[in-house]
Amino acid sequence: MPNTFYVTTPIYYVNDVPHIGHAYTTIAADVLARFHRLRGYDVFFLTGLDEHGQKVQQAAAKAGCDPQTHCDRLMPKFKNLWTQLNISQDGFIRTTDAHHQTVVQRCLQTLFDKGLIYLAEYTGWYCTFDERFWTEKDVEQGLCPDCRRPVEQVSERNYFFRMSQFQDRLKNHIQTHPGFIQPDSRRNEVLGFLQKPLEDLSISRPKSRLSWGIELPFDRDCVAYVWVDALVNYLSALEYLSTHKNAAGFWPASVHLVGKDILTTHAVYWSTMLMGMERPLPQSIFAHGWWTVDGEKMSKSRGNVIDPYAIVEAFGTDAFRYFLLREVPFGQDGDFSLTAFHRRYQAELANDLGNLVSRTLAMLGNFSKHMIPRPDPQTEIELDHQLQQAASTLCEIIAAHLHRFEFHRALEAILGLVQLANQYIDKTAPWVLAKDPAKTPRLQTVLFYLAETLRFLTYALSPFLPHTAEIMKTRLGLTVDFLASTLPNYPAWGEYAYTNPVTKGEALFPKKDMPSTNASQPSPSPTPSSSLEKNEPASVSSSQSSQPPMTTDDLPLIGIEEFQKVQLKVAKILTVERVPKSAKLLKLQVDIGTEQRQIVAGIGKKYAPEELVGRTIVVVANLKPAKLMGIESQGMVLAAGDKDVLGLLALSEDIPIGTKVK
């Protein structure tokens, strides 16, 4: 089957309600699925629930019901959340599905028939939370090395999979396929794990201890280890949940998205099981990081487990999707705070994207009778061509970033075009052109260029912010289906024939106050230091922190003599590159008239490098050089913002480079 894309999330335990971690993985998978559908791929996007195992059995007992009833009660909470988050899964699997259980038994029988499963007595340290045995050397002070919970010593007869037999083969596969485990830090972690002798894997539990599981086909007194059961879902779903005639052609999976805590089970357990069954390994396993809340680990005892429903209710689905993928590089740990969320919402979604759409559609209504005009080539200038170039290459740039799972970079590129288009409006001033009938051809060109830019942004945003893209599509009068093969080829500038009128509508992202209510679990938190629990002022703007604003009374006054010591100059940015291992720092080469300078600026979260080249800025030219992350900075860029950068200081008129600012 040509051009297939098979993306999976882990199947989530039903021992509790879904939280931000579940949402994070699933939203990332949804973006990949939506983008590949746009590009013309046959896509199968799988998610679902892991409903077997000791944790589920214990949670059901605590709830006073049987395990199946417990699973049936919790399942809608996940499905409903996926609907709320606009998740476009093609299959939703439950490991209690009869067909899945049949496939698990078939896989186990295959391994058994090949002599890769054997029965043996075993005594080891068992972690109930992880449902995993540990050796004596793994356990420290009676605690599980993964979750740090107490373990208990268990002796029983179990069936074992000869996992050790595949150690060298797996190590070689990882070394010869650099993209198999991502990011590189996780790849190195698995290779480090494989430096020690790989032990065989216990793949059964006696029914006398655990009855809630899939019965072994060769021993009715045992059930399958929950991880064996769960991992097979990636194969079983293709047999009975896919509507494709050749669903088997989707294997091997394009990517398994997992949290870093379950990397070993996927990279080692699952890979060796597939080798034993003589099946190809997935093309990639990507392990992302964890979310903390205001610097603290999420936990029910702290009361800081983020409730996705609460965030969506307050700010909307697309704002939640945007923040999770924009805030931190996928693969690294991230910190969630309402302050950071609100700041991005106000600055990037409301002020930048929402404002661009609102301004453009309003001007089309006021100056062009709600119709998108054709441009007059005679009136085109270099400024137009710069906007056209940025828009025309956007989808290709996004594709390159998503190929590397750089969701934040893709959104950064989209935001860069949004900001460039807002600057284009300011520089072309359509409201001024509209006052002079002789400038109508130029006005039509400007309005067309803005409308075309919105069209490209609509395509680009559709995988990330599907609801917003649908609204933009409708208001622009576009007739496209974002769940179909809309972009088998990248869109071309000017190819679309606009025939429908545009409508302005309500604000895409209405300005909102910082919520003063808790967005985590509804129970009060015993940890008052979390900002989720503080009564933060409802009027905090995107440029404010939770601290009260500083007034002039708080600042030391300086004399004119001291101020005159600071030499400010107009400068032009020549080149920009990111500082390695820093999400915030950019290295700029700037022209200050008399010479070129290198300046390291902490503006990398606000601006993408490509959107800064050629911009005119103001710099402190006589600042003593300093080193930031080992790179010398020979000046300072002036920008606005209390805690985070909200924008660079800009000049309203063309001023020669090197001019002093007084």
- DSSP string covering 410-478, please? HHHHHHHHHHHHHHHHHHH-HHHHTT-GGGHHHHHHHHHHHHHHHHHHHHHHTTTSHHHHHHHHHHHT-
pLDDT score recorded for residue 522: 37
pLDDT band for position 559 (cuts 50, 70, 90): low
Phi, psi of 627 (to 5 degrees): -105, 130
Q: 225 φ, ψ to 5°?
A: -55, 135
Residue with tokens 């309003």: 362
CATH 3.40.1360.10 for domain 4-288, yes or no, is no
pLDDT band per the 50, 70, 90 thresholds, residue 45: very high
Domain 335-517+529-543: CATH architecture, name and number where available: Orthogonal Bundle (1.10)
Q: What is the mean pLDDT of residues 128-151?
A: 80
- Residue 142 pLDDT: 85
Report pLDDT for 535.
25
Residue type at position 7: V
Whole-number pLDDT of residue 597: 87
Question: Of the ranges 118-132, 203-217, 286-300, which is most confident?
Answer: 203-217
Q: Could you tell me the residue ranges of all domains in the chain? A: 4-288, 335-517+529-543, 553-661
* DSSP 8-state class, residue 140: B
Predicted pLDDT at 547? 33
How does pLDDT run across 265-287, given as a tens digit for each residue?
999 999 999 999 999 999 999 99
Band (552; pLDDT cuts 50, 70, 90): very low
The more confidently predicted of residues 559 and 376 is 376
Q: How confident is the model at residue 554 (pLDDT cuts 50, 70, 90)?
A: very low
Lowest mean per-residue pLDDT among 57-61, 106-110, 288-292, 578-582: 578-582
pLDDT value of position 643: 64
pLDDT value of residue 320: 96
- What is the value of pTM for the model shown? 0.76
Does pLDDT of 299 surpass 60?
yes
Summarize the confidence of residues 543-563 as an average pLDDT: 47
- For the segment 637-644, the average pLDDT, to the nearest whole number, is 80
pLDDT in tens, 69-105: 999 999 999 999 999 999 999 999 999 999 999 999 9
Give the pLDDT confidence score for residue 557 in this predicted structure. 63
pLDDT at position 293, please?
83
Q: Which of 536-540, 628-632, 643-647 has the lowest mean pLDDT?
A: 536-540
Sign of the dihedral through C-alpha 529, 530, 531, 534: negative
Q: What value, to the nearest 5°, has the Cα angle with vertex 374 and ends 371 and 375? A: 130
**Among 183-192, 386-395, 498-507, 612-621, whose mean pLDDT is lowest?**
612-621
At residue 518 the predicted structure's pLDDT band, cuts being 50, 70 and 90, is very low
Nearest to 634 by CA among 644, 646, 620, 652: 620
Tell me the average pLDDT across 543-571. 58
345: three-class secondary structure by DSSP: helix
pLDDT band of 556, cuts 50, 70, 90 = low
- Residues 6 or more apart from 656 whose CB is under 8 A from it? 570, 593
Burial (CB < 10 A; 0-12, 13-18, 19+), residue 527, is middle
Phi-psi region of 629 (alpha: psi -120 to 50; beta: other; left: phi over 0): left
Of the ranges 18-22, 247-251, 446-450, 614-618, which is most confident?
Answer: 446-450
Residue 539: what pLDDT? 24
| Residue 645 predicted with pLDDT over 90 | no
State yes or no: pLDDT of 530 exceeds 70: no
Q: Higher model confidence: residue 539 or residue 77?
A: 77
Q: Is the confidence at residue 558, as pLDDT, over 60? A: yes
| pLDDT for residue 515 | 61
Structure tokens of 455?
A: 């069209």
What percent of the chain stands above pLDDT 70? Answer: 90
Whole-angstrom CA distances from 606 to 329, 577, 648 are 14, 14, 9
- Under 8 Å between Cβ of 158 and 223: no
State which of 237-251, 504-518, 603-617, 644-658 shows the largest mean pLDDT: 237-251
CATH of domain 553-661: 2.40.50.140
Least confident of 27-41, 306-320, 387-401: 306-320
Task: Answer whether residue 325 shows pLDDT above 70.
Answer: yes
Long-range contacts of 293-296 (CB under 8 A, 24+ apart): 293/335, 293/336, 293/337, 293/520, 293/530, 293/532, 294/335, 294/336, 294/337, 294/529, 294/530, 294/531, 294/532, 295/335, 296/527, 296/529, 296/530
Query: Which range, of 467-476, 537-546, 622-631, averages the lowest pLDDT?
Result: 537-546
| Residue closest to 334 by CA, chosen among 286, 297, 386, 388 | 297
pLDDT digits (tens, 9 = 90+) for 458-480: 999 999 999 999 999 999 999 88
> Using 50, 70 and 90 to split pLDDT, how confident is the model at 544?
very low
Tell me how long the chain is.
Answer: 662
Q: What is the average pLDDT across 606-620?
A: 84
What mean pLDDT comes out for the span 101-119? 98
Report the alpha-carbon distance of residue 221 to residue 569 in Å, rounded: 81
Q: First-to-last CA distance in the chain?
A: 67
Q: Which residue has the tokens 């939703």?
A: 92
| Residue 631, burial from CB neighbour count under 10 angstroms (0-12, 13-18, 19+) | middle
Q: Taking residues 570-594, what's their average pLDDT? A: 85
Give me the residues paired with residue 293 across strands.
296, 336
pLDDT of residue 538: 25
